[in-house]
Structure 1
Amino acid sequence: MAVLGLTNPGQDDWARLRGLQYATLADNSLKRAALHVLSAMLTAWLYFGLVNIWLLAGWAITLAAALFFASRSDQSLSDSDTRSISNEEFRKQNLSVLMLALIWCVPFVLFSSYGTIVELLILWTVALSMIVSTSLMRASAPLGSVIFSTVTSVGAIIGALLLGNYTAAGCIVFVLLAAILGTIECSKTYLIARIAEAGMEEKSEVVSMLLREFEENQADWLWQVDTGRRIRSASPRFSFALGQTPADVEGKPFLQMIAGDSWESGQFAPSLHELAEKLKSRENFSNLIVRVSIDGQSRWWEISGTPILDEQQNFMGFRGVGSDVTEQRESSEKIAYLARYDTLTGMPNRLMLNEALRDAIAYAKKWRTRCAFLMLDLDRFKAINDSLGHMVGDELLAEVSGRLKELMDDNTMCGRLGGDEFAIVIRDASEKGTVDRLARRIIRSLSRPYNISNNTLYVGASVGSAIGPRDGKTVEEIMRNADLALYRAKDEGGGEHRPYESTLHANAEERRQLEGSLRKALENNELLLNYQPVVDANRENVVSFEALLRWNSKEHGFVRPDKFIALAEDTRLIVPIGAWVLQEACREALNWPRNIRVAVNVSGEQLIEPDFATTVVHALSNSGLEPQRLEIEVTESIFLRDPNIARAALEQVIALGCTVALDDFGTGYSSLGYLRKLSFSTIKIDRSFVQGAAQGSAESIAIIRAVVAMADSLEMATTAEGVENPEEAEMIRNMGCTKIQGYYFGRPMGAADARHLFARQGQIRA
C-alpha cells in the first residue's frame, strides 16, 4: 500500500517522497501521449470498415480530450519535487488515468461485436503494449499504472466473454496479474532508490554544513603529530593558537609546545598528564579540557584526537581538532562562583552554607559527634541603611563580613544568607561551650564601632543557634530551629545569644495559629474597643477616653493585647486593624458630650503608610466627629524607623485639627528633639514612674517633676498613667500633672458602660 501511495509509514519524509515520485510524470508525458495516439491509429485501422466511421471518430475525439486532460494534470505536478502534493492533486491525477482506461475499454466492449476473436487479440496486443509501456514510464507513480492495467484488462475480458472465448479471457487475467505484480515490483525498486538518494543528499548537506561551520569558526583548528609526538602538517590556525608560525612549530614536540615553563620543571598540570597518557595509550579521546601555557599566559584548550593507521594498521601518529575555550571556561567558573558565593561580601551564600551544613550533619552522624548552626542578625542595621543610604549599608556589611572571617578557623564556615543575616556552620561542636564562646566573640566583635565614610557607626548582633542532630536531623530542621532561637534573641532586645529550646517551636506554632486567626478577626467581628477614662487632676471629671483594642477570638478565647498587637505589627496587619479602630472610636465618640475627646493609639507601621492622613480623614468624615475631639497617641519608637515620614504624617494630622500625644515618655530615648520638632498637646508619663514615686523612689519623683516642668514651659498637658488609689492621685496632683489615668478613676470599659458613666454623672451630650 505504501508503494502504491495509499498509505504513508511513520518514518522518513513521505510527503516529500511523493512529490519526487509525481514530479517525473511531466518528463515523459508527451511520450505516453504519442503512444496512445499510435495505438488509437492502429485500432482505427483494425476496425475501419467494420465499425461505423462516426463511432470511430467519436471515440478518437474523446480519447484526444482525455489525453489533453491527463497531460495538463502531469504538467501541474512538474514542481512537486520542491513541495508536497495535496490529496486533491493526487485524486485528480489518478482520475485522468481512469478516464483513459475507461475510453480504451470501449473498443473491447463495443467494437469486438463487429469482428472476430482475431481482431480482439490484435487489439489486446496493442493494449498490452500500452500497459507495459505505462508500467515502465510511470514506475514512479504505480497507482495510475495499476488502474490503467486493471480497467483496460477488464474491458478486454468482457470482450472475450462476449465472443464466447473463455480461453482468451483466462489468458488476459493471467497477463493482468503479471503486469500488476511487475508494476509494483518495479515501483518498489524505484522508491527504494529514491529514498537512498534522498538520504545521501541529506547526509551530504549535513557534512557540507558542518565543514563550512568548522571553516568559518576561527576558534577551531586541526592538529597532527607523528609517532614521536612531534607536530606535523601544522595548520595556520593551530600555529596561531601556539603564538608562532607554521614553520616554527613544524617538527617540535607537541607537549613541550603547550607545557610552557612547566616543561623544564616537570610540574605539569593534571590535564597535561591526562593528555600524555591518551597519546601514549594510542586511544581515541574527545572533548578533553587541557590547561596550556602560551607565551607565559595560562589558557584552556578543548582537544579531540584519533590515531592514524596505515593500510597495514600500523600506528602513524595522531590527528584531531582543538579549540581555545578559555573564555567559556572563565565564564563557567564565574557562574559557578556566583552560584555559591555572595557578590557583595565574597562569603559563601545560602546554597554553599546548606551544603556545608549537610556535610556537617553527615560527619556528626558518622562519627557520633555534634555540629552546630548559628544564625546572626545585625541590630539597628535598617536604621543606618535608611538614614545614610544603601552604599554606606553595603560598606558596613563588607566590614562586618571581614570581622566575621577573622573569627573563623578550619572547623567553621561563615556565610551571608541575605540582607543583614549571616550564618556560621561549626563542623565539630562536641566540646562543651564551643557554640556559646563563638557566639559571644561574634557579638563583641560586631559591637565595636565602625568608621565608614566619615561616620562612626554602632551596630550589634543577635545570635540564635541549633545543635545537630539534637535539635534537628536535616538541614531544614536545624536552620528553622536556629532561626527560632534568633527570633527569641531579637525579641528580648538583641545583643544576645540564645540557643534553641523545644518550647520555641511550640511558641512559633502558637504564633502561626494566632496569626491565621488574627487575619480573620475583622471579618469575623472578633475585635472590640474598650474605653478607659482620663480625668482632670483637680476637678476629677472625665475629659477624654483612651480607646483600647481587645480581641475575643472564637478559636483562642480572649487574647492579651501585648500578645496580639505585637503580632499585628510584625505582620503589618496593624494597618487594616488600626484603620478599623479609628473608624470605630470616632463613631462611638459621637455618643459622648462634645467636650470629651477620644485618644487612639497609632503604631509606627501605620504612620509610614503613605495614606495615613487619608485614613484619619475618612474616619472623621464617615463618623462626623470634629477633628479637635480626636487625639492620636504615639510612642517614641515611631521616630527610630523612619523619623521623617512619621513626622510628616503627624504634621498632616495636626493640620487637620487633631491633637497628638506622646505616650510612655521617659521609657525610651526621651529625646527633647522630638518635643522641639513636633507640637505635641500632651506628654503621658509611664506608669512605672508613678508606681516608683508612690514607693518613695527619688529618681521617679525627680523624673515626674522634670517632665511636668518641661511640659508647662512648652505649654503641653501631662497625663500620669497607672494611678490606682487616692494616695497616688493626691501625689500626682501635688506634682502638677494636668490629667490622671488609672484604675482608681476607671478600668477599661465597654462602649455602653462609658455612655452610662456620663448619665450617672449627669453629663449629657450637647
Structure 2
Amino acid sequence: MSTAEPIAAGPVSVDFRTLVGLREGTDPAEWGRIRSFQLQAGRQFALFLLGANLLAATVMVMLFAKSLPMWLLGGWGVATAAVAIAVAIRRRRTEHRDGSHAALSELRGTALEGIALAAVWSVPPTLFAGVGTGGAFVVWMVLSVLMTAVAVALAPLALSSILFLGGVGGVAAGKLALAGAYPASGATLLFTSLLMLGCVTRARALVLIRAGQIALAERDETVSLLLREFEDTGADWLWETDAARRIIKASPRFAFACGLDPVSINGKAFLEVLAGPSWESGNFAAGLRDLAEKMKGRESFRDLRLPVHVEGEERWWEIAASPRYDERGAFCGFRGVGSDVTEQRASADKINRMARYDTLTGLPNRLMVNETLARAMLEAEKWSGRCAFMMIDLDRFKAVNDTLGHPVGDRLLSRVSERLAQLMGENELCGRLGGDEFAVVVRDAADPEKVHRLAQRIIESLSRSYEVDQHTLYIGASVGLAFGPRDGRTAEMLIRSADLALYRSKDAGGGKFHIYEPQLHVEAEERRRLEVALRTAVEQGQMHLAYQPVVDATSTKLTGFEALLRWVHPEYGPISPAKFVPLAEEARLIAPIGEWVLRTACREAANWPSDVRVAVNVSPDQLHDPNFVAVVASALANSGLTADRLELEVTESVFMREGTGAVRVLERILDLGVRLSLDDFGTGYSSLGYLSRTRFSSIKIDRSFVQGASKGVREAIAIIRAVVALAKSLGMATTAEGVETEAEHQMVQELGCSKVQGYYFGRPLPVDEARNLANQRRWNDAAAA
C-alpha cells in the first residue's frame, strides 16, 4: 500500500473519492482487489435489497389503496418492483469473486442503481404524502425503514447508497419545507445525513478490514514461500534447546549438519555438539565463547559466526536465536536458526584478498599499504616509538614498456616484486601502489641506520640485471624515505613526505635514496606557487624571447640566432628556464608555450636578411603530437619565413619513447624543408643510431665539453674531435656551445667546429638589438660599431 494512501492496519484513513470510485487509488492493483470485494459484498445483499423494496412497496400500496387511484398506485408499484428486480438481477450477475480484480468503471456503474431507486421512491413523498390526514407520517415511516435497510444493504457500494439516500431524503425534506413544516424538514435532512454518514463509515470500515486481510494474506504467502524455499534449499536449519541448553526436537537437517544421528543428538548439550573435539580440551574458538555468554545471559543474538568441526573438517556456521518463555514467563530454552556459511566465508576471504592485494605481483596493494601504515602510526604514537615509510619508483622502466611492450613490462614488475619480497622481514611490509611505484612500511623504525641500509639494499637489488623473455634488462630504483611521526602525524602526511623525498631522488638522477627534510616541503610549495604563476604568465603573455648569435667559427660571420625563452615575473623577477621549462612539461603547458615561441621567432626572423637563420628548441612532448607539423607549417606561412631559414633543435630524449611517432613527425617536418639540429649530443646515451634515423643538418656540442677541453681534459677533447669527425662524415655541421673566451674560440676552431655560440660572441639579446645585429651582417662589423 502506498504511504500516501494507507488502508492497512492501524489508525489510518481512506480517501472519500477513492472509496466511492470517483478516482483511482495510488496502488491500482490492490484497489482493484478491494473494488472486487465491494461488488461481491453488494451481490450478497442483492436479495435482501430486493425484498426490502418489494415489502416497502407492498406496504405503501396497501396503505394508500383506498385513498389513491388504482392506476396511479398500481403503476408506481409496478415501476418500483421492476426497478428493484432489475437492480437485484444486475447485482447478482456480477462475476466478481474474492481475490479477483474490478475496474474503476464497474464501481462507478453502481451509481445508476442508486439513481433509479431514488427516482421511484421519490414519488411517494411527492404524490402520496398529501393524501389523508396522516399521509405524510405514513410515507415517512415507510421511507425511513426502507432508507435504513438500503443503508445497510448498499453500504459496501457507498456511491449507490449515497445517491439513493440523498435523492429520497432530499425530496422528502423539500416537500416538507414547501408545506411549511420546517422542523420536520430539518429532522428529515438530519436523519438522511446520519444515514449517509453511517453508510460511508461502514463502507470505510469494510474497506479497511479487507485491506488488512489482503496484507495478511500477502504476508502469509511470503512467509510460505520463504518456508518452502527454506525447506527446499537445505542450506539452513532450525534448532531448539531446553532451559538447560540441551538440544530438543532436533530436525534431521540440523543433525545432518552436525554429522550426528537425529535420534542420539537429542539431549546433548548444544555447546558440546558445536565444540566437537575441543570440548574436552577447553580450547574453544572466540565465537563459541561469545555464544556461551549470550546463552548464559539469555540474550537474543544474530549473525554470530563460529567454526565447527564436522567429521574432521572445519566448517563455519552462522546462527541466530531468541530465548523462549512459557505463559507464566518462565525461561524454557532457546529457539533459533543456523546456516553453513563456509563457502560464503571463503568467497568473502577471496574478495577481501582481491581488495587488498595486487593481482599482477601478489603484493599488498595501495589500500592494504595505507591500512598497515595507519596501524603502524597508531602503534608508534601509543608507545612513543617510530615507524618509517618508503616510496620506491623504478628508473628507466618506462623505456622498457615503450620499447618491448607492456607484457614484458608486467613480467619485469613481477621479478621486481619477487626481489622486494625477499628483502622484507616480519617488521616490514612491501606493497605495490600502482604502475612502477612500490612502497615499504617499516613498523618499528627505532634504528634509523637499519632502515637506511634496507633502502640501500633495495636500490642495489633492483639495479641488478633481469632476464625476461630472452631480454637482458637494466633498470634502477629511486627511494624516498620518511619517518613517522617526525615527518608526518598522519599516514597521509607521511606518504606526502616520502613522496617529496622521492622527488628529490629522481631529480638527483635516480639510483639514490633521500630522507625527507622540511626544506623539501618548502620547495614543493614553491613549485606549486611557480606553476600557478606560470599558468598566469601563459594567459597574460608575460614571456618574451631573447636571441643569442651563432657565428661561423672561421669567418665569425653571423649565421643565425637561437631563440631563447625568458620569463620575468612581476613579483619574483627573472626565473631561470632550467626551473620553469621542466615545470611547464609536467603541467602540460609546454605545447602552448612552444607554439607561441615558434610563431614569434618566425615572425621576427622574417625581418632579418635572407641568409640569417633562427633556431628554436622543441620539447619531446611537442614532437609526440602529430599536429605539430601543421603548427610548423602554419607558423612559416603566417610569417612569410622560408622553411630553410628555420632550424628546430631536438635532444636525444625524443627517441627514447618508441611507438609514439616522433620520428615520423620529424620526417614530415624535414619534408617541409625545415632544418634539424641535434642538441646536447654527448650528454645522454649518444647513440649513433639516432643520427642514422633522421637527417640532421648539424650537431651541437654541449658547453660542458667545451669548458672541459679548455682546461685540458683529454676526454673532453677526444669527444669533441670524435663528434666533429662523425659530423663531417655524415655531412653535418657542428656548433660549439658555451664559448666565452678568445682562447676557447681558437680551440674549437682548431678542433674543426663549424659554428660557435657563446658569451664571447654575445649574450642573448633583446629583439631590437638582435635585429640591428642581423642587419650588420658580420660579428666583427657589429663589434666595431
TM-score normalised by the shorter chain: which range applies?
Answer: 0.7 to 0.9
Spell out the pairing of 1:106-505 with structure 2 (5 A cutoff).
Answer: 106-117=123-134, 119-142=135-158, 144-145=160-161, 148-149=164-165, 151-153=167-169, 155-156=171-172, 183=199, 187=203, 190-191=206-207, 193-222=209-238, 269-271=285-287, 285-294=301-310, 296-304=312-320, 320-505=336-521
Spell out the pairing of 1:66-105 with structure 2 (5 A cutoff).
Answer: 78=96, 82-83=100-101, 86=104, 93-94=110-111, 97=114, 100-101=117-118, 103-105=120-122
1:24 matched to 2:41? The reply is yes
Partner of 2:7: none
What is the one-letter code of the residue matched to 2:382?
A: K
Superposed CA offset, 1:318-366 (max 9, x none)? 7654333222211111111222222223322222222222223333333
What is the one-letter code of the residue matched to 2:347?
A: S
Q: In structure 2, do the counterparts of structure 1 residues 573 and 167 end up closer, same or farther at CA, with 3 Å as the change threshold?
A: closer
Aligned equivalents of 2:199 and 2:60: distance in 1? 25
What is the one-letter code of the residue matched to 1:368?
A: S
Superposed CA offset, 1:710-746 (max 9, x none)? 2222222111111223332222222211111112222
* Range with bigger deviation, 605-614 or 182-191: 182-191
1:734 matched to 2:750? The reply is yes
1:578 to 594, 607, 610: 594
Contact 1:661/1:683 (8 A) holds in 2: yes
What is the one-letter code of the residue matched to 1:629?
A: R
Q: In structure 2, do the counterparts of structure 1 residues 553 and 85 end up closer, same or farther at CA, with 3 Å as the change threshold?
A: farther
Q: Does the residue aligned with 1:131 lie in a helix, a strand or coil?
A: helix
Q: In structure 2, do the counterparts of structure 1 residues 546 and 63 end up closer, same or farther at CA, with 3 Å as the change threshold?
A: farther
What is the one-letter code of the residue matched to 2:53?
A: H
Aligned equivalents of 1:165 and 1:358: distance in 2? 93
Partner of 1:692: 708
Q: In structure 2, do the counterparts of structure 1 residues 172 and 443 end up closer, same or farther at CA, with 3 Å as the change threshold?
A: closer
Contact 2:609/2:775 (8 A) holds in 1: no
Deviation of 1:610 (Å): 3.5
Q: Does the residue aligned with 2:563 lie in a helix, a strand or coil?
A: strand
What is the one-letter code of the residue matched to 2:648?
A: I
Superposed CA offset, 1:215-240 (max 9, x none)? 33243345568899998877665576
* Range with bigger deviation, 671-680 or 418-427: 671-680
2:585 to 563, 569, 572: 569
Partner of 1:669: 685
Aligned equivalents of 2:157 and 2:360: distance in 1? 72
Contact 1:600/1:631 (8 A) holds in 2: yes
Q: Does the residue aligned with 2:438 lie in a helix, a strand or coil?
A: strand
Contact 2:114/2:162 (8 A) holds in 1: no
Aligned equivalents of 2:211 and 2:585: distance in 1? 76
Scaled by the length of structure 1, the TM-score of the pair is: 0.85
Partner of 1:719: 735
Contact 2:110/2:157 (8 A) holds in 1: no
Deviation of 1:40 (Å): 3.8
Aligned equivalents of 1:162 and 1:396: distance in 2? 108
Deviation of 1:496 (Å): 1.6
Superposed CA offset, 1:637-690 (max 9, x none)? 323333874333323333333222111122222222322343322111111222
Aligned equivalents of 1:524 and 1:71: distance in 2? 92
Spell out the pairing of 1:518-537 with structure 2 (5 A cutoff).
Answer: 518-537=534-553
Aligned equivalents of 2:577 and 2:545: distance in 1? 11
Q: Does the residue aligned with 2:130 lie in a helix, a strand or coil?
A: helix
Contact 1:347/1:414 (8 A) holds in 2: yes
Q: In structure 2, do the counterparts of structure 1 residues 310 and 42 end up closer, same or farther at CA, with 3 Å as the change threshold?
A: closer
Partner of 2:666: 650
Q: In structure 2, do the counterparts of structure 1 residues 495 and 15 end up closer, same or farther at CA, with 3 Å as the change threshold?
A: same
1:750 matched to 2:758? The reply is no
Q: Does the residue aligned with 1:637 lie in a helix, a strand or coil?
A: helix
Contact 2:558/2:777 (8 A) holds in 1: no
Deviation of 1:565 (Å): 0.8
Aligned equivalents of 1:63 and 1:579: distance in 2? 101
Aligned equivalents of 2:379 and 2:601: distance in 1? 61
Spell out the pairing of 1:42-53 with structure 2 (5 A cutoff).
Answer: 42-44=59-61, 46-48=63-65, 50-51=67-68
* Range with bigger deviation, 201-210 or 446-455: 446-455
Contact 1:142/1:183 (8 A) holds in 2: yes
Aligned equivalents of 1:557 and 1:62: distance in 2? 111
Superposed CA offset, 1:275-318 (max 9, x none)? 67777888765443233344544333333456788999999987
Q: In structure 2, do the counterparts of structure 1 residues 297 and 629 end up closer, same or farther at CA, with 3 Å as the change threshold?
A: farther
Aligned equivalents of 1:122 and 1:362: distance in 2? 97
Deviation of 1:491 (Å): 0.8
Contact 2:700/2:736 (8 A) holds in 1: yes
Contact 2:538/2:593 (8 A) holds in 1: yes
Q: Does the residue aligned with 2:467 lie in a helix, a strand or coil?
A: strand
Identity of aligned residues (%): 50
Superposed CA offset, 1:574-612 (max 9, x none)? 123223323333333322233332222122222222333
What is the one-letter code of the residue matched to 1:691?
A: Q
Contact 1:302/1:325 (8 A) holds in 2: yes
Deviation of 1:107 (Å): 1.8
Q: Does the residue aligned with 1:700 lie in a helix, a strand or coil?
A: helix
Q: Does the residue aligned with 1:616 lie in a helix, a strand or coil?
A: helix
Q: CA RMSD in A?
A: 4.1
Contact 1:3/1:184 (8 A) holds in 2: no
Q: Does the residue aligned with 1:550 lie in a helix, a strand or coil?
A: strand
Aligned equivalents of 1:55 and 1:289: distance in 2? 88
Superposed CA offset, 1:78-134 (max 9, x none)? 589645765x876764575356436523321333223321x3333233323322321
Spell out the pairing of 1:535-554 with structure 2 (5 A cutoff).
Answer: 535-554=551-570
* Range with bigger deviation, 486-495 or 460-469: 460-469
1:597 to 613, 620, 645: 613
Q: In structure 2, do the counterparts of structure 1 residues 762 and 469 end up closer, same or farther at CA, with 3 Å as the change threshold?
A: closer
Contact 1:22/1:77 (8 A) holds in 2: no
Instruction: Give structure 1 stretches of 5+ with no counterpart.
Output: none
Q: In structure 2, do the counterparts of structure 1 residues 669 and 121 end up closer, same or farther at CA, with 3 Å as the change threshold?
A: same
Contact 1:25/1:78 (8 A) holds in 2: no
Instruction: Give structure 2 stretches of 5+ with no counterpart.
Output: 1-11, 20-24, 780-785
Deviation of 1:456 (Å): 2.8
Aligned equivalents of 1:179 and 1:620: distance in 2? 99
Q: In structure 2, do the counterparts of structure 1 residues 594 and 49 end up closer, same or farther at CA, with 3 Å as the change threshold?
A: farther
Deviation of 1:490 (Å): 0.6
Aligned equivalents of 2:70 and 2:36: distance in 1? 43
Superposed CA offset, 1:406-440 (max 9, x none)? 33334333222111112222333344534433322
Aligned equivalents of 2:778 and 2:483: distance in 1? 66
Aligned equivalents of 1:730 and 1:139: distance in 2? 122
Q: Does the residue aligned with 1:291 lie in a helix, a strand or coil?
A: strand
